[in-house]
Amino acid sequence: MQCLWRILWLAALIITISFKTAKCYTITVDAHAEECFFENVDANTKMGLTFEIAEGGFLDIDVTITGPDGSELYRGERESSGMYTFSAPTSGRYTYCFSNKMSTMTPKVVMFNLEIGDVPNKDEQKGSEVDHNKLEDMIKELATTLKTVKHEQDYMQVRDRIHRSINESTNSKVVVWSIFEAGVLLVMTLGQVYYLKRFFEVQRVV
């Protein structure tokens, strides 16, 4: 049991230090607009982008990652969520862009994480020449699994908030419609009572 806790603690530590920085953002991208972010990194640095569309339209957006030379490393069109990890091929400024230009009037709320790792040392670059024991391999595998679970939990939280908002909006519309129906029914009932009353009064006069 103590060994298991030690493994879990080491896995959590690896997750914490596997990326030098992890920046979390929530932004609103207006219709016909594009929001970009920049990171200056060294060659062979591990980089990651995780994003989720929280609100707006059909919950889709265009995503691009561009290298220092202007080449596209990643392009996604009308995506609701995604996770992309890569090693920087060259040193320089990398650009992450979220484009909502395809939307005519609806802004999009985007939640995303930018993760920047440390520059690997020579031993890491020559991983094939370094022997890893089974415990290290197990810890790394566990760390990757825990990180995947974390991203899935974040995704489920966002989806839960979206569905809750939709349900609340639907419930409000149902309540308003029910009140309207009740009002129409009441008006029709009073109208019928008034009509019958006037009808019998006319019959009695005749």
At residue 131, does pLDDT exceed 60? no
Tens of pLDDT, residue by residue over 5-55, are: 444 444 444 444 444 555 677 889 999 999 999 989 888 888 888 888 888
Please name the residues in contact with 53: beta carbons below 8 A apart, sequence gap of 6 or more.
59, 60, 61, 79, 80, 81, 108, 109, 110, 111
Question: Range with the lowest mean pLDDT among 67-76, 145-154, 166-175?
Answer: 145-154
Helix (H) or strand (E) holding 36: strand 34-41
Confidence of residue 103 (pLDDT cuts 50, 70, 90): confident
Residue 117 · residue 20 · CB < 8 Å: yes
In this prediction, residues 59-71 reach a mean pLDDT of 91
- What pLDDT is stored for residue 64 in this prediction? 94
Q: Domain 2-161 classified CATH 3.40.640.10?
A: no
Burial state string for 148-183 with b = 16 or more CB within 10 A and e = fewer than 16: eeeeeebbeebeeebeeeeeeeeeeeeeeeeeeeee
Tell me the whole-structure pTM to 2 decimals.
Answer: 0.57
